[in-house]
A = this chain, B = another copy of it.
Amino acid sequence: MCLLCVQAQVLYDFTAEPGNNELTVKEGETITITNQNIGGGWVEAKNSKGEVGLVPEDYIEIQKALSGGGNVAVPDLSFFDAFAPTAASSSDSALLQASNGNDPWSVWNADATGNAADSWAAKPEGTETAKAASNWNSSAQGHFQAYQGPGKTWDRRMWKDHYRYPYRLSSFYELLLQFPGFSKSGPELYLLAKLPPKGKDKIPMGEVGPVWLYPETQLDCVVADPKKGSKMYGLKSYIEYQITPSTTNRPVNHRYKHFDWLYERLLEKYGSAVPIPSLPDKQVTGRFEEEFIKMRMERLQGWMTRMCRHPIISNSEVFQLFLTYKDEKDWKMGKRKAEKDETVGVMIFSTIEPEAPDLDPIEVEQKCEQFSRFTRAMDDGVKDLLTVGQEHWKRCTGPLPKEYQRIGKAFQNLSSVFTSSGYQGEATLTDALTAAGKTYEEIATMVAEQPRKDLHFLMETNNEYKGLLGCFPDTIGVHKAAIEKYKEGDKLVAAGKITPQEKTTMAKRVSTMSYALQAEMNHFHSNRIYDYNRVMQLYLEQQVAFYETIAEKLKQAHARFTTM
């Protein structure tokens, strides 16, 4: 038993899912941890009334851990300052940012208050570690409860990271890698490393220009059939999805936490070269509701499709493991292997060897600037579209159908008044007025349902891109930091810190990084062009059908009136 885990303070309200052995707790409440080894992000706890049940570990704060000071779980890392590539004012703020990097919601929740809209500009890019993800659905559509209380989460997350990767504490580099903000923004690890000869892990490049090598057949997969499963003799319930890759056509089962594990592995290993978008919202409350499961599945499908489409990711050992593991033993072994992989962070560039002449560092810098400008501008454009879409969604599901309904009712009301006239030959008009009224009621329903048919996909796609674009500052930051480091090369040589040979190596490696970045940008652009063509087609198709159906309905209503 862990000595730290006796008392805990509840950070956020949590409402137990009925019949699921959970414990409802309130923010500020003190609970006693009775079993910290439940796993899956849960602990067993007892409240003051003696009720025992499961509570999400993210919702509580171990008190003993904090009693020794705010930093107990976080070793003093101020000696890292020397390695920090840009001017992070203190290790604390850098850690805070690293933590934000782990918490995909923190920046965008701040965004919702309108303060962090300039988050790109406000932070030094080299240490920018925010992972963009969207809470569009939870905050705007209001279908699901939004994730609560970001900003307070960093020490809790750090603690969890320790807990999750204890083997990492053994060496300096592993400690470094444990904080993604550091591992990825410390390109000198790669620039100056003595690299082993490249093995089978080498990332293949395309033959013409800076492009990845694409497989002949594109991998695809279907995420379907969510099923409620249970563990620990029914103590804990969860939802399991069936994922069927196009290669084997053999389904494998995975829980959300497995996707999350995959995401962490991909981010750790490829994040410096490939923006890895966050998974959909890690929500706890309401996670067994049908609507939520459907939406999460749709978003997991979107995420998997994007990963499948990426030639580096889809071809990676860890991704293949996820999609094609044979049995539980195979999966467990693969997991262990992936977790021990040391070619992570900036070291991923060591697996790339472009068969092209080295690029001029000035050109590298210009390209990097261009990508940075573009992704920022697109981020703004996408957010703008999302804001407009949200408002339109609200209007289409709120006041607008109500108004059409009232128009419909007013016509029908007039029709029933006319029916009471006692005048002969009224029936044709009253029938027609009733039909017209009903038509406007139908239009009201159509208007309210339409956003799910068209705006939904436009929003989801832009939402996905918002998440993806939010990863670029990180990825681009690594490159900028490498360029800065290279620029210091002459000084470092003069000061005797590196050899002239090492400086030449740096130039070559900066060139390799740039080559990878260009390949990734080309990948991004071609996907973007496909995605936006596709989603606009879909949107406009549905819009056309919508307006045509309305016109047709009104035409029929029109035909019933007569002035003969």
Q: Contacts A406-B388, A551-B544: A534 and B563 contacting too (C-beta < 8 A)?
A: yes
- Assess whether A548 is interfacial by the CB under 8 Å rule: yes
Q: Is the CB of B388 within 8 A of A529?
A: no
Q: Is the CB of A410 within 8 A of B381?
A: yes
Kindly list chain B residues whose C-beta atoms are within 8 Å of the C-beta of A83.
Answer: none
Kindly list chain B residues whose C-beta atoms are within 8 Å of the C-beta of A360.
Answer: none
How far is B425's CA from A507's CA once the two chains are assembled, in angstroms? 31
Contact of A429 among B378, B381, B532 (CB under 8 A): B532
Which residues of A from 410 to 424 have beta carbons under 8 Å from B? 410-411, 413-414, 417-418, 420-423
- Closest beta carbon of chain B to A375's beta carbon, Å: 10
Q: Is the CB of A395 within 8 A of B400?
A: yes
- Assess whether A323 is interfacial by the CB under 8 Å rule: no
- Closest beta carbon of chain B to A540's beta carbon, Å: 4
Kindly list chain B residues whose C-beta atoms are within 8 Å of the C-beta of A374.
Answer: 417, 420-422
How far is B429's CA from A526's CA once the two chains are assembled, in angstroms? 11
Q: Is the CB of A543 within 8 A of B537?
A: no
Q: Which of A34-42, A228-236, A268-276, A552-560 contacts its partner? A: A552-560
- Closest beta carbon of chain B to A466's beta carbon, Å: 12
Kindly list chain B residues whose C-beta atoms are within 8 Å of the C-beta of A433.
Answer: 532, 536
Kindly list chain B residues whose C-beta atoms are within 8 Å of the C-beta of A534.
Answer: 563
- Assess whether A384 is interfacial by the CB under 8 Å rule: yes
Q: Is the CB of B385 within 8 A of A529?
A: no
Q: Is the CB of A417 within 8 A of B533?
A: no
How far is B437's CA from A384's CA once the two chains are assembled, in angstroms? 14
How far is B525's CA from A432's CA once the two chains are assembled, in angstroms? 16
Kindly list chain B residues whose C-beta atoms are within 8 Å of the C-beta of A532.
Answer: 414, 418, 429, 433
- Assess whether A407 is interfacial by the CB under 8 Å rule: yes
How far is B544's CA from A370's CA once the two chains are assembled, in angstroms? 48
Q: Is the CB of B547 within 8 A of A561?
A: no
How far is B200's CA from A42's CA once the two chains are assembled, in angstroms? 101
- Closest beta carbon of chain B to A462's beta carbon, Å: 9
Q: Contacts A414-B382, A423-B522: A554 and B540 contacting too (C-beta < 8 A)?
A: yes
- Assess whether A29 is interfacial by the CB under 8 Å rule: no
- Assess whether A391 is interfacial by the CB under 8 Å rule: yes
Contact of A377 among B382, B417, B432, B551 (CB under 8 A): B417
How far is B527's CA from A421's CA once the two chains are assembled, in angstroms? 13
- Closest beta carbon of chain B to A200's beta carbon, Å: 32
- Closest beta carbon of chain B to A550's beta carbon, Å: 5
- Assess whether A399 is interfacial by the CB under 8 Å rule: yes
5 closest A-B pairs by CB:
A540-B558, A547-B551, A423-B525, A385-B410, A381-B414
- Contacts A373-B420, A536-B558 given; 11 further ones with Cβ under 8 A? A374-B420, A377-B420, A378-B414, A384-B410, A392-B407, A418-B528, A423-B521, A426-B525, A429-B532, A534-B563, A544-B554
List 23 A-B residue pairs with CB atoms under 8 Å apart, sorted by A's residue number: A373-B420, A374-B420, A378-B414, A378-B418, A380-B417, A385-B414, A395-B399, A400-B400, A414-B532, A418-B528, A421-B525, A423-B521, A423-B529, A426-B525, A428-B533, A433-B532, A436-B536, A534-B563, A537-B558, A540-B561, A541-B558, A547-B554, A551-B551
